Chain A
Amino acid sequence: MRPPRNLKRYLSVFRIRLAYSLQYRTAALAGIATQFFWGFLLIMVYSAFYSSSTSQPPMSLPQLVTYIWLQQAFLAFIMLWFRDEELFGLITTGNIAYELCRPGELYGFWYAKLLAQRIASALLKCLPIMGTAFFLPKSYQMMLPPDVLSAGLFIISLLLGLLVLVGISMFIYISVFYTMSPYGSLLLFNVIGEFLAGMIIPVPLMPDWLQDIVYLFPFSWTADFPFRVYSGHFHHTEAAVGIMLQLIWLTVLVTLGRLAMKQALRRVVIQGG
């Protein structure tokens, strides 16, 4: 669809941003410590729940432990709110005018920027976290995926999930054009989105009626789905169908996002300054 030269432009934005974000290694280290703390905490809570369970839960405890560690390792792929004061600042200070002068479509630029940020953050965190989680004592240990095919499907679905997630988060930035102060609209969106993505409790542990609602929204396709592919909770055919659905969501989100961005830019008022 796009000419290759265009694509190259977005790629270079992506590369610059990636290098920029990778500089904050100390911050990442602190982040890793925090993530371990969360991981341990959640596992302890769930173990306590499982030990007093009367019926067979829909997900085994080792599967759940793996799910939790994946969540911690790929937190950057789940959180809707990835602090980017820069983009908000651009809109509220009026510096957006510069961005508009740049060649190329704003949607693509920002998309590449946000994508790079998330990948950088995940790159710094996922290896140390997963590397350690494989060797923890038994009750905290992370499992390997059941077979090679599941591992492959996991990687595909994880990447697609990331693309879907950035597609969703673009709407947050577009909304700032209307509200000017980002935090309000963001928080509400965030709270609901993260719940539906299985951040508060994993989707399989939710009651059935709630799961039906969850699957109507794109949020669970970002991270919950790939994690369950990894743990073998979704089998190969189910995983393949899911990946198709991810592709459909991605197309819908990007198309709508670009339309919304065009609308927003048409009525944008530069605040001087």
Chain B
Amino acid sequence: MKLFMRYLSILFRSQMQYKTSFWLLTVGQFFTPFTMIAGIWFLFERFGSLRGWDFHEVAICFAVIHMAFAISECFARGFDTFASLIVSGDFDRLLVRPRSTFLQVLGSKFEFTRIGRLAQSSIVLIWATASASIDWTPLKALTLGLMILSGTIIFAGIFILVATLCFWTVQGLEIANILTNGGKEMAQYPLQIYERWVVRFFTFIIPFGCVNYLPLQYILGRTDGDEMFYSLTPLAGFLFFFLCLIVWQFGVRHYRSTGS
């Protein structure tokens, strides 16, 4: 943990070297989801509703997934850019150090500019939860927190999974974008509007549905019985993450250096 903090502070200082660019990037990150939520708002203005969901409810979906993505990109960026470590052979150096590879790769890069995006999504979340009609209970608040945490962990899990693939493919795979960016884009709407195979895939294989759609049903009071089950669905994210870590360990054992 101490080492993790060291990594954090070093990388923070290095990114602050380009101050203008840092702030511009942060502001840019603030506006990226802004145009998206504006787009969704315009669509609602044009069409009224989305299969029984109103704008505030979709905005909660949106905010949860974007917050999760922002946090995850900030901290798990090392795995996202992992291909470069493999290509240059620098991963060998990580292996000889007496710390876990997981921690070292995690600490190899942080993107602090994502704070902009996080700030924007938090504002959307606060605004949306305040304007949607929700009877708050402590358990519901806890579920909301759990949703964000679980979402973060799922994105991190995907980053790790894709990084693990680099052990075999060496080059990073563009197609992995479908899972990260695509997942984000998809999960910003309630899962129910998609076709059945999409819903199944993103509930049981990659459990995005468990971090906003299902628990939101509970928060909005739409479940028929079995509230406990719905409120605990975000835990599926942890299971997913755990499986990703196992795959990672497996990958590390099968690593063959590029030698360069």
- Say whether A associates with B: yes
A57 touches B21 (CB 8 A): no
| CB of B90 closer than 8 Å to a CB of A | no
Assign chain A's interface to a size class.
Answer: 35 or more
- Please measure, in the bound complex, the distance between the C-alpha atom of A8 and the C-alpha atom of B98, giving whole angstroms: 60
Distance, CA A45 to CA B187, complexed state (A): 11
Smallest Cβ distance from A200 to chain B, in angstroms? 4
A residues less than 8 Å from B34 (CB atoms): 191
Residues of B within 8 A of A135 (CB): none
B35 touching A192 by the CB < 8 A rule? yes
- 17 chain-A/chain-B pairs, Cβ below 8 angstroms: A30-B175, A33-B178, A34-B178, A41-B194, A44-B198, A49-B43, A49-B46, A49-B50, A51-B51, A55-B48, A187-B29, A188-B24, A188-B31, A192-B31, A200-B36, A201-B42, A201-B43
Q: Mark A18-57, 1 if CB is under 8 A from B, else 0.
A: 0000000001001101100110010011001111111101
A248 within 8 A of B: no
* Complex CA–CA separation, A145 to B170 (angstroms): 43
Contacts of A210 in B (CB 8 A): 42
Q: For A33, list chain B residues within 8 Å (CB).
A: 175, 178
Extra contacts, 19 of them, besides A44-B198, A180-B21 (Cβ < 8 A), are A44-B195, A45-B189, A49-B50, A52-B48, A52-B49, A53-B46, A54-B48, A55-B48, A187-B24, A187-B25, A187-B28, A188-B31, A190-B28, A200-B38, A201-B42, A205-B43, A205-B46, A207-B42, A210-B42
Q: Would you give the shortest CB distance from B106 to chain A, in whole angstroms? A: 23
Bound CA span A190–B31, Å: 10
Chain B, range 159-177, C-beta contacts under 8 Å to A? 173-175, 177
Q: Are A53 and B189 in contact (CB under 8 A)?
A: no
In B30-46, the 8 Å CB interface with A consists of 31-32, 34-36, 38-39, 42-43, 45-46
Question: In the bound complex, do residue B177 and residue A207 qualify as a contact, i.e. CB atoms below 8 Å apart?
Answer: no
CB–CB B194/A52 < 8 A = no
Task: Please report the C-alpha to C-alpha distance between residue A105 and residue B114 in the assembled complex, in whole angstroms.
Answer: 39
Is A12 an interface residue when CB atoms closer than 8 A count as contact?
Answer: no
Measured in the bound complex, the distance between the Cα atoms of B20 and A191 in whole Å is 18
- Decide yes or no whether A181 CB sits under 8 A from chain B: yes
Nearest-neighbor residue (CB-CB) of A53 within chain B:
B47
| B35 pairs with A195, CB closer than 8 A | yes
The residue that A52 contacts in the complex, of B23, B24, B27, B47, with Cβ under 8 A, is B47
Chain A residues with CB below 8 A from B46, complex form: 49, 53, 57, 205, 207
Binding site for B on A (CB under 8 A): 27, 30-31, 33-34, 37-38, 41, 44-45, 48-55, 57, 179-181, 183-185, 187-188, 190-192, 194-195, 200-201, 205-207, 210
Q: Which A residue sits closest to B198, measured CB to CB? A: A44
User: Interface on B for A, CB 8 Å cutoff?
Assistant: 18, 20-25, 27-29, 31-32, 34-36, 38-39, 42-43, 45-52, 173-175, 177-178, 182, 185-186, 189, 193-195, 198
Closest to A185 in B: B24
Q: Which of A33, A45, A194, A207 has the most CB of B within 10 A?
A: A45
| Contact flag A184-B47 (CB < 8 Å), given A41-B186, A206-B42 | no
A50 engages B47 (CB within 8 Å): yes
A188 near B47: Cβ-Cβ < 8 Å: no
Q: Chain B residues near A54 (CB, 8 Å)?
A: 47-48
CA distance A41 to B188 in the complex (A): 12
Neighbour of B21 across the interface among A38, A45, A179, A206, CB < 8 A: A179
Residues of B within 8 A of A180 (CB): 18, 21
Q: Are B25 and A30 in contact (CB under 8 A)?
A: no
B24 surroundings in chain A (CB, below 8 A):
179, 183-185, 187-188
A184 touches B21 (CB 8 A): yes
Q: How far is the CB of B127 from the nearest CB of chain A, in Å?
A: 20
Whether A53 and B48, one on each chain, are in contact in the complex, defined by CB atoms closer than 8 angstroms, is: yes
CB distance from B93 to the nearest CB of A (A): 25
Chain B neighbourhood of A38, CB < 8 A: 182, 185
Tell me if A37 and B31 are in contact (CB < 8 A).
Answer: no
Asked whether A187 and B32 contact (CB < 8 A) given A41-B185, A50-B47, A52-B47, the answer is: yes
Given the interface pairs A41-B186, A44-B194, A192-B35, the reply to whether A179 lies near B50 with Cβ below 8 Å is: no
Q: What's the least CB distance linking A209 to chain B, in Å? A: 11
The answer to whether B174 touches A52, judged by C-beta atoms less than 8 angstroms apart, is no
Q: Is the CB of B31 within 8 A of A31?
A: no
Residues of B within 8 A of A41 (CB): 182, 185-186, 194
Chain A min CB distance to B33 (Å): 9
In whole angstroms, how far apart are the Cα atoms of A67 and B194 in the complex?
20
